Amino acid sequence: MVANRIEEILHCYPKTFVPYPKKVEQLAQLFAKQLIAKEALETPNPESSNEGKTINNKEFAKVDLNSIVHSNCRTVGLEYITLETVRKLMLESKLQELGFSKKDIDIAIGIIIGKLVKPNSERSTHAWLKNQTALPELINCDFNRISQNRVYKISDKLLLKKDVLEAHLSTVEDDLFSLDSAIVFFDITNTYLEGSGAHSKKAKRGRSKEKRSDCPLVALGLVINSDGFPRKSKIYEGNISEPSTLKQILTELRDSNQSKLPIIVLDAGFATEENLKWLREERFPYIVDPE
């Protein structure tokens, strides 16, 4: 049955009326892909062939455009640009330094680029890597052989190294783009979970900025510089009081950056008497946006 389906794929025969079992279809697509790739490598260089018409040392051949069939179409443009950026940021070498294996690095890069190119859940990212993008060919990683659970595990591993990776990216970005982080902006937002959030310690009921207070929430605090590059991020409980987040994230920002303290730009919601007093005591220069 697998062989029959491979034959159909290779010769572009129409599918049978009765669909093949899912496992058969997956195996057939995988093996057909490998056969097509092997055939492409073994195809002789057309420049060395005597076939076709030669004019002024240029070779031409007639092609029936109606005979062309698209198969296994994948996106590649944005993925290629993002991959080159990831490499410029030396993220692969940093992951290796943090103890990631070669296979784990490939999966991590796939997840990171997937989140940038087509943001979605880990489950959807795994499906995208298998079926829609040419990124696996660019990084030489066959995601058809990688389980969804492996993707979840690598995502969790990346989260555990979040602070170290953020510090690494900040340092490399500053050097690569000659960034000046003399001014940083801090704000906090929240998003909702469509499920119950029963297994998340941070999922809490609160006031949703997306008007979904019927759902459990998680909050995200983010510090960016004046060029829009993230400096520090923090995930909080969904019902946290926003002013209470200021001290912790700025302390961590200061501890990770030994250079001159930046000017902190805040909105009025953070400008409580307690916070302003703390900023002055810690000698943080600050600006409060009244709006």
Average pLDDT, the chain: 85
In the predicted structure, residue 112 carries a pLDDT above the cut 90 = yes
| Predicted local distance difference test score (pLDDT) of residue 129 | 93
- Phi, then psi, of 54 in degrees rounded to 5: -110, 125
Does residue 219 have a pLDDT over 70?
yes
Q: How would you classify residue 143: left for phi > 0, otherwise alpha for psi between -120 and 50, otherwise beta? A: alpha
The reported pLDDT for the residue numbered 260 is 72
Is residue 52 scored above 80 in pLDDT? no
**Residues whose CB is less than 8 angstroms from the CB of residue 65 and which lie 6 or more positions away in sequence, other chains included:** none
- Bridge partners (DSSP) listed for residue 266: 288
Cβ pair 113, 136 in contact under 8 A: no
C-beta separation of 126 from 145 below 8 A: no
pLDDT band at 149 (very low <50, low <70, confident <90, very high): very high
Q: What is the mean pLDDT of residues 126-133?
A: 92
DSSP 8-state assignment for residue 261: P
Question: What are the DSSP calls for 64-98, one per residue?
Answer: -GGG----S--B-HHHHHHHHHHHHTTHHHHHHHT
Question: pLDDT band at residue 127, thresholds of 50, 70 and 90?
Answer: very high
CA atoms within 13 A on the CB side of 5: 19
Give the Cα separation of 290 and 12 in Å (integer).
Answer: 64
Lowest mean pLDDT among 9-18, 239-248, 252-261: 9-18
Q: Which two tokens stand for residue 226?
A: 């004046």
Residue 108, by phi and psi: left (phi above 0), alpha (psi -120 to 50) or beta?
A: alpha
Looking at residue 115, its pLDDT comes to 94
Cβ atoms < 10 Å from Cβ of 163: 13
pLDDT-based confidence at residue 70 (cuts at 50, 70, 90): low
Domains parsed from the chain with CATH numbers = 77-160 (no CATH), 180-289 (3.30.420.10)
Between the CA of residue 225 and those of 171, 173, 265, what are the distances in Å?
A: 13, 11, 10
Least confident of 36-50, 181-195, 223-237: 36-50
**The dihedral formed by the CA atoms of 134, 136, 140 and 145, expressed in degrees to the nearest 10:** -140
Are 151 and 128 in contact by the 8 Å Cβ rule? The answer is: no
Q: Cβ–Cβ contacts within 10 Å for residue 69, how many? A: 7
Structure confidence at residue 197 as a pLDDT band (50, 70, 90)? confident
| pLDDT given for residue 42 in this prediction | 59
Q: Which two tokens stand for residue 68?
A: 């062309």
On the question of pLDDT at 43 being above 70, the answer is no
Characterize 260-274 residue by residue with b for buried, 16 or more Cβ atoms within 10 angstroms of its Cβ, and e for exposed: ebbebbbeeebbeee
**CA–CA dist 2, 29 (Å, integer):** 9
